[in-house]
Amino acid sequence: MKVYVLNGPNLGRLGIRQPEVYGATSYAGLVTSCQTTGKELGLDVEVRQTDAEAELIGWLHQAADEEAGVVLNPAAWSHYSYAVRDACAMLRGPLVEVHISNIHAREEFRHHSVVSAVATGVICGLGVDGYRLALLHLAALRDRSTGG
């Protein structure tokens, strides 16, 4: 199963940006963790990060065309990007929205995600472990659908 782990703005700064909120794991560490977990689960995982909204939308279109699973941390775009939300709505594979911090315990403007309504599930507040849990969920969905 092909799975794209897609990350929005500022996530390339993990480990540097507000470690008290986002933890000490670097972006490179997150990539390695996702790839290792994917390999253990028999998933073909590709991890990407962008600060350009149009690029993320293009990746979501690619995932839709491939019927791939997606783990998405839309970051700030969660709260206002209807373009990202609409691209997510086109996905034909499962979508797990992930947030490193608990968006509901932060500033009011972060409490709502426009993406959540079209996601298969949402994980927030579990740090980078949320990515591992999202990949475990996608592997379980695959196994249920294939009888494996």
Binding-site residues for substrate sit at 73, 79, 86, 100-101, 110
Check if 61 is active-site. no
d(CA 121, CA 93): 12
- What distance in Å separates the CA atoms of residue 96 and residue 69, rounded to the nearest whole number? 8
Do 103 and 126 meet the contact criterion of CB atoms below 8 Å apart? no
Identify the active-site residue in 4, 22, 27, 131: 22
Residue 22 annotated among the catalytic residues of the structure:
yes
Beta-strand pair 95-99/44-49: unpaired
Residue ranges at the known binding site: 73, 79, 86, 100-101, 110
Catalytic one of 27, 80, 82, 99: 99
What's the one-letter identity of residue 26?
Answer: S
- The answer to whether the CB of 132 falls within 8 A of the CB of 31 is no
Q: Residue 110's Cα: distance from chain center in Å?
A: 16
Positions marked catalytic: 22, 99
